[in-house]
Structure 1
């Protein structure tokens, strides 16, 4: 069973929602956040990227950064821009990006579901990023950004949520990136109890995006549990903020790659080595149309490369991924990218930026070759999580991203 919990959300006053709601902390760097928020003191970037309000010499993991986040959150609440609901509710969050629409249930996830693997993972977390999020949650005493979870679509759950969305929304606005955000509050206790009961029948859910947020939410519970001699397990800190989307509504874009050099090889020798494990055809195709097709941009031309049968292993959920095949049979052995997490010779480009960005990088001369990938599917993600395995780094890019600041969960 999966436990979801209603909570007293801290939310923007309606007239300020479009000014407060911001991109999540992990899709903008400090400089981008500073630019986005410079003329907007209400932007939630002042909470999730609080270093923008400190001297640039201050390191992003400095204790002063977390204290500034706490100060900025408390200021938004004190001045009445954010207000806490008087009772515990569930919420519905819909996003529309072009023709794509996804509608999720906003609720609190139970830390024990994380530790006992009813919330399934498909990525390793990085220790420095995990510590950062733990300190942010602990210092602010709040989950300021939701974890993006998915569940195998349940018609009865989706039907309940669809009925909720027929009512007038609490918020409806379009963000700067053109995504339409609509938000409802579920105040009806009967509907809340029904949704809780339905989720108790779901054996597990999956982290789509937000492994560091979920790890921090669960591990802060452990900190607070140790500090509380009267811990019962029902305290608010036992839960963290999440949005649950049905799997068939998600949109995964490709996570593309560009490499700065050919590892000392000439173009001809590079292609010759690639041909040992891949079929190569000069096609002009910029985006692959199916699994096991990769588009490669080299010297102003687009090639389609397809793995030869001897390197395919479709029985293994990880080894069947195109990002794994590219890494193990081209990036590592030919281009010398042994550890893509740490190598400074490779960059990863989210599919939202398109193949034009790959062409731009290579045409500039700063990069030698780029690879346009077919997106990993939600089913592949779930198969890997079910097998207890992890994806290679930078395997998925979910769009649209969940806005931060639409709702906050306080830990007491």
Structure 2
């Protein structure tokens, strides 16, 4: 990592004065694929690929960003740990040397639009302040795991770039909306379709007047919220602190003080629930289990009818070939704060932990999750085939619930939300 002088950072990294108490969402000089390679470079998250699809991408598409994050494929060898970090950097440098990637000459904001079969959303890719994360201007609603924070911090330090934006959300803003809509009337820098019937488009905002307008609008916002990417935010904050301590010429304007983010308005955010699947009833018979649930829930057997909750604090359960509705008995249950009203918390506190004996939602191998993008048919199928004993579903959380929990410095249980959009990797890269 090369530390820039104060003069270099003022002129080259961010051309605007940085005021400590203002929310800092800044333009940056992205490294990105040239126009002809964009659709070939862009990839989904590595974990999103099945083995066969991943192999096909690596074998038949030499431009895929997957070659960078899976550098061992070049040698037909699995590589882990810090050795992998160094090879990721090497593959990245090769893409730059081969002119697949280039860096913009001036800082820009980037409008990124995703059109799916169901909906479309657009937002701004920009550099968010690690300091804002540290002083709770960028607010979080999930716990992070310390060793994962450290691991990703070390990864960032070695590779020197960030390609997975943190998803941040802010209240709808008329000025920003109008500016984005006007810019999107012009031809995009990139526009390509993917095999899952999505269209991805990207525009540059590179004129000084509109850059100043966007920067000024974000400075008026007292807080913005992490929708997805809590570990990435925490790791970037750790990297910023560590880099500051080791840089005697630290100014606060260095690139390591920021992390790449995708900012979308709250109306563009799509929130889904996670259903819970449990492998056994913790030693209870079906009858004993239902009696235990009766203390906190009004239970109705729906038979073979696929039941979907229609209200908050209503749950669906699939057990022994039948669906049940579970309505929380509010005369018994006491709401004490915003977290206590969250359905995933209620399910954990009144069923998963006390009745089914599942305390560690991240690591207990008796529980699995299906995100709400998938149908209840999958939940039913996985119970019917004997893989699991019981499944639970609920309505998705609402953005106001998430914000209130963050404002109260509380944290949601793991797998409380599945949030879209999910961005492609490799279209914009933030170097530090």
* TM, length-normalised to structure 2: 0.90
Can you give the 5+ residue segments of structure 1 that lack an aligned partner in the other structure?
none
CA RMSD, 1 decimal: 1.9
Q: Specify whether residues 160 and 395 from structure 1 end up closer, same or farther in structure 2 by C-alpha distance, changes over 3 A only.
A: same
Aligned to 1:375: 396
Aligned to 2:249: 230
Give a deviation string over 1:381-405, Cα, whole Å, max 9, x none: 1111111111111111012311111
Distance 1:76 1:267 in 2: 58
Instruction: Give the counterpart of 1:141 among 133, 142, 160.
Output: 160
**SS of corresponding position for 2:239:** helix
Q: For residues 6-405 of structure 1, what are the structure 2 equivalents within 5 Å?
A: 6-25=27-46, 27=48, 33-34=54-55, 36-50=57-71, 58-59=79-80, 62-283=81-302, 284-314=305-335, 316-405=337-426
Aligned residues: 409
Contact 1:288–1:294, Cα closer than 8 Å, also in 2 = yes
Q: How far is the alpha carbon of 1:372 from its aligned partner?
A: 1.8
Contact 1:97–1:400, Cα closer than 8 Å, also in 2 = no
Give a deviation string over 1:220-245, Cα, whole Å, max 9, x none: 12222223221111111111100110
Contact 1:144–1:405, Cα closer than 8 Å, also in 2 = yes
Contact 1:312–1:320, Cα closer than 8 Å, also in 2 = no
Contact 1:169–1:184, Cα closer than 8 Å, also in 2 = yes
Q: Specify whether residues 381 and 18 from structure 1 end up closer, same or farther in structure 2 by C-alpha distance, changes over 3 A only.
A: same
Can you give the 5+ residue segments of structure 2 that lack an aligned partner in the other structure?
1-21
Q: Which contiguous aligned blocks of 4+ residues in structure 1 show a shift greater than 6 angstroms?
A: 29-32
Contact 1:123–1:390, Cα closer than 8 Å, also in 2 = yes
* TM, length-normalised to structure 1: 0.94
- Specify the structure having the higher radius of gyration (Cα): 2
Contact 1:179–1:400, Cα closer than 8 Å, also in 2 = no
Q: Specify whether residues 86 and 42 from structure 1 end up closer, same or farther in structure 2 by C-alpha distance, changes over 3 A only.
A: same
